[in-house]
Amino acid sequence: MATITKKELIDRIAEKTNNKRVVVKRIVQAFLDDIIDELGSDNRLEFRDFGVFESKRRAARVAQNPKTLERVQVPPKRTVKFKVGRLMKLRLHQQDIKEAGGEVNVEPQATTD
């Protein structure tokens, strides 16, 4: 499994769209900044067929340090939950079938959202 960086994604998008890398970088960064702002405002982001991002609150709890077995108070915090959308789930399933040596005959239908 490879790690793809934001820079590599920007380069790919710039090449596919024949736009300057600087322009694509500004657009991608603005998109990511807006996602962070919306999640920070407790808004839910839904990208049809891709997935849903939600901000969740975790309650305060008591945990245990595994080394010292000492009890530790963990304060409440917010985290982000991602639920996989239909097309992504289908693509991942197809990849699992390919890796298992099977044949994939299912073509995903794209939506216009």
The model's pTM: 0.71
Q: What is the 3-state secondary structure (H, E, C) of the chain?
A: CCCCCHHHHHHHHHHHHCCCHHHHHHHHHHHHHHHHHHHHCCCCEEECCCEEEEEEEECCEEEECCCCCCEEEECCEEEEEEEECHHHHHHHHHHHHHHCCCCCCCCCCCCCC
pLDDT at 108 (0 to 100): 55
Task: Give the pLDDT score at 13.
Answer: 97
Q: Where in the chain is the domain with CATH 4.10.520.10?
A: 49-106
CATH topology of domain 49-106: HU Protein; Chain A (4.10.520)
pLDDT in tens, 18-77: 999 999 999 999 999 999 999 999 999 999 989 999 999 999 999 999 999 999 999 999
